[in-house]
Structure 1
């Protein structure tokens, strides 16, 4: 018995020494990560690359969506997706179609990292309490619990990277004729901080928080629930084993993205409009003159909803939905394809919901 206690003590001491040595190596900059840490890092890299590639492919549609969301109804320059893209090409050229994409891609990497990690930790925590409450050690997450885990992940990730999203919206909206130009993400951040204060970086945060709950939550919940149903039910012979084909996963992801963005879209419109409040050149950017600045003044989320619906009708809450919907399928398709390529290169198994 004493011998076993000695062995146990020696094992504990050895573990502590090993952890201390790893911590020392980490502080000194020597790479000695565990397999789990290395796997997480590889997954985050793959997610960041996939997000950047997929967003770049659909960047023109993303910019068109934002311009349709925030343009003034009394001086309309963009009458639709095709006309708007042609107008941007004619007035701003190829670079105009991708304006704001660099800032968007810079935001995607940390956003994806925080979102995926937060979802994983939230899922583990929720599953632990769910099993404790039900007394069933084999219980799995229900669609509602997945919705909750996805909502937590979305709120954390959105809050952590919101200032970058805010300035990305402004950079995307400005044109070559704007009286004042943001030269890039860091210039925009410093300018907003200097001229409008730190609180301005979080304008539109509340509707974003509310909107991210159904958007990210439904994305995770619908995707994983569809995937589980396909594996268990095996309808139409789509699934031959426990693995889904890339095409089937694309379909699941497209369905999840479509449901999530349709439900949350009005809040996205309000968020974009609130982000323009306080920008002294916003009216010139959106209308080409200074007559309509008052229409950009909102005292809060509810006021923005009320004024938008009263002056432009309920349909204004879905401005830009068509280009946003059109970009969902190719964006998710590219994300999956890039995931697979990076997974093979890095030698790590990746799941969209991991």
Structure 2
């Protein structure tokens, strides 16, 4: 509707209202028609997002570690049972005698005593440990490359600037230590339960009873009993273990001019890495086991130093390596099989991103 003003001949436009209450605006201030609003909401494709997530390198490494740990423990559970009994001084002092004793007292199933809790423990623990190792190694390698380009980190204290020389650190050694700490913190409560089921099955017949008794006696601290010596013992073992495997793998591939190892080579190098690391840290393992199950025997050393002194006093220096043979029989195949399965699962889950 166009209305012409008297004398001014100025055009105005009816903006809104009815014939009785129209508001007249100058043509220069016209109201434009608003654009239609798009109110459509797109539902996220959860399935696609999940597929993208599980295909990431980190998830593949975690899954590979979990599967490798589960397979290795299922095969080697009897050796784990014998090793634990010998380390804490329960039953026979030799491997064959301990096998016979367990079978006579508990039957064949006794060799898998505590294996259920061991499987529940090893799956998340191995996933966290191997996943942490790979992630920290990559992060440390990237950080060192940046330090080489931009200079090492500096700390400013007043007017004094201190350079922190971190380029000498081995990414593999740092990653190995981090993996050991992360895996230990995640799996220690179930490790305590497993040892109780293995050493005193008559008092701890199943997981539920064991958890209930341990929590009733010591609360959360009871589930983490012996965590300090465990971490102390784990650091040299884990650092050496991962450093040995990675170094041997790279050296061997370099010498043979190969890009990767075959399964038999992974098995052997993994086994040798486990043997070396176990031999170096075994006295700390003995002290750790003494602290973890000491309460069951009516005497518990107050700390790791006291546990080591007690072993030496009662059994001499040789006591620090009591059960070492059984430990090697368990550690060597466990390390070899774990690495073999881990690398195999990585080849399957990360085939497009596989590298040495």
Give 1:68's aligned residue.
86
Q: Does 1:311 align with 2:311?
A: no
SS in 2 for 1:102: helix
Q: Deviations over 1:324-354 (max 9, x none)?
A: 111233323433554466557x553499999
Identify if the C-alpha distance between structure 1 residues 333 and 127 changes in structure 2 by more than 3 Å, giving closer, same or farther: closer
Contact 2:269–2:336 (8 Å) recurs in 1: no
Q: Give, in angstroms, the shift of residue 31 of structure 1.
A: 5.8
CA distance in 2, matches of 1:125, 1:43: 15
Matched, 1:324 2:327: yes
Gapped regions of structure 2 (runs ≥ 5): 1-40, 152-166
**Residue of structure 2 aligned with 1:302, choices 305, 308, 327:** 305
Between structure 1 and structure 2, the one with the greater Rg is: 2
- State yes or no: 1:46 paired with 2:69: no
Unpaired stretches in structure 1, ≥5 consecutive residues = 1-19, 284-292
SS at match of 2:350: coil
After TM superposition, the score normalised by the length of structure 2 is 0.75
Q: How many residues matched?
A: 300
Deviation of 1:86 (Å): 0.8
Distance change (3 Å), C-alpha of 1:334 and 1:204: same
The TM-score, its normalising length taken from structure 1, stands at: 0.76
User: Are residue 110 (structure 1) and residue 112 (structure 2) matched?
Assistant: no
Q: What residue is the counterpart of 1:244 in the other structure? A: 261
- Whole-angstrom distance in 2 between the partners of 1:352 and 1:191: 46
SS in 2 for 1:33: helix
Secondary structure, in 3 states, of the residue corresponding to 2:49? coil
Give, in whole Å, the separation in 1 of the partners of 2:332 and 2:183.
23
Which of 1 and 2 has higher RCO (CA within 8 Å, sep 6+)? 1
Query: What is the distance in 2 between the residues matched to 1:158 and 1:231?
Result: 31
- In structure 2, what is the equivalent of residue 84 of structure 1? 98
Question: 2: distance between equivalents of 1:203 and 1:244?
Answer: 40
Superposed CA RMSD in Å reads 3.0
Question: Relative to 1, partners in 2 of residues 1:135 and 1:348: Cα closer, same or farther, differing over 3 Å?
Answer: closer
Partner residue in 1 for 2:108? 94
More strand by share: 2
Distance in 2 between residues matched to 1:305 and 1:92, nearest whole Å: 31
